Amino acid sequence: MTARLCIAIASILGGLSVAGGAFGAHALKAQLTEKALATFELGTRYQMYHSLALLLVGLLWLQLPSNSWFSYASWAFLIGIVIFSGSLYGLSLSGIKVLGAVTPIGGLALIIGWALLATAAFSLTN
């Protein structure tokens, strides 16, 4: 992944989280149980938070292109968004309970993304 691709993906995922939130609030409100709707909304919220984190990584990476930790962090955030939010969307829309068991894997990837971003900061030399 490159810094520019990271920024582009973050922008697309951020926009999709807004669209997903609106879809959930309007189209799904009458279709899903309150619990399933809350699960869907949690997915959109975490997708937005981590889209912003991915955007930050891309912007920092543009400024410090030789710091490879930004690449690792970007991949961790992207994988985390796909698995964490994706499993919550699937769970809420399909009711397939096993998808709930996959969600923590995505959460772990998001945590690793934050740790890698911290590592990128600590690897900076003055």
In tens, the pLDDT along 46-93 reads 999 999 999 999 999 999 999 999 999 999 999 999 999 999 999 999
Residues 29-41 have a mean pLDDT of 91
Band of residue 124 on the pLDDT scale cut at 50, 70, 90? confident
pTM: predicted TM-score of the whole model, two decimal places: 0.93
Q: Is the pLDDT of residue 95 over 80?
A: yes
CB burial class (10 A; 0-12, 13-18, 19+) of residue 12?
A: exposed
The pLDDT value recorded for residue 126 is 60
Among 42, 27, 24, 22, residue whose Cα is nearest residue 85: 42
